[in-house]
Amino acid sequence: MKRVSTYSGAVVLAAALIWPVTAETCGYHDPSVLARGILNWTYPKALYVGTAVWQAEASGVLPRPTQTPTDLFAYQRTVRHLQALGERLRRSRIAQGPGSSFSMVLLDSMLWTRFAAAPEGYAVEVHADGPAEGDVVLVTHGKVIRALAEGSFDAVVAEEYGLVRLYGPPASQERVRTILATTAAAQAVRAKAVTDWASDP
């Protein structure tokens, strides 16, 4: 599959010399290589997701960080969450009709995953090299993906509060939003998330 880069010449040079954004350098396998600066250059305000996650943790909307030793199985769990989200997307795709392919990067690990639209749903490629030509790019966090995969959080609320940011042609973004929105749990989940956030002092 043809891959394309959205970097300008200067960004490509900087990425090559400093932090190449590739599957081989995701945070799970090389924690010292964090390409967040390059990501924020390519996708403006992508790093705002990190601030939104911190605020959600402080408000109790997302689980607060715990002081635990290095988690040796974090990568495997994240893969399971991404695959579970893919299954939810598959069911939504069948119900909603055509969608758009998109690529997702998790800000906490710099792990790229591609969700390729197919007649039967979405094919999930974890540890992708990056977005393919024409993909919408979705920037989020591992905690958000876990909540979406488990059905305990709503994609609409996640984007409203900056936990998810989308980049790409507006029409394609809307198709991705439509599919993601249908993966939410009951409307009560959405209402509870909004209420919890609003009630935070």
At 141-189, the pLDDT tens digits run 999 999 888 888 888 889 999 999 999 999 999 988 988 887 655 344 4
Sign of the C-alpha dihedral, residues 54, 85, 158, 138? positive
Higher pLDDT: 126 or 64? It is: 126
SS3 for 106? strand
pLDDT, residue 127, reads 92
Is 3's pLDDT higher than 60? Answer: no
Predicted TM-score of the model (pTM): 0.75
The confidence score (pLDDT) of residue 69 equals 62
Q: How confident is the model at residue 1 (pLDDT cuts 50, 70, 90)?
A: low
- pLDDT value, residue 192: 53
With cut-offs at 50, 70 and 90, classify the pLDDT of residue 33: very low
pLDDT digits (tens, 9 = 90+) for 41-98: 899 999 999 999 999 999 988 888 876 666 778 899 999 999 999 888 887 665 555 6
* Cβ(38)–Cβ(68) below 8 Å: no
- Amino acid 169: pLDDT: 92
Q: Which residues contact 67 (CB under 8 A, 6 or more apart)?
A: none
CB 6 within 8 A of CB 44: no
Mean pLDDT over 121-145 rounds to: 93
With CA atoms as reference, report the closest residue to 28 among 81, 85, 70, 83: 70
The strand order across the sheet containing 102-106 reads: 121-126, 111-118, 102-106, 136-140, 165-167
84 alpha carbon, distance to own chain's centre: 13
- Asked if residue 191 has pLDDT above 60, the reply is no
Q: Which residues contact 135 (CB under 8 A, 6 or more apart)?
A: 100, 101, 102, 103, 114, 168
Which one-letter amino acid corresponds to residue 197? Answer: W
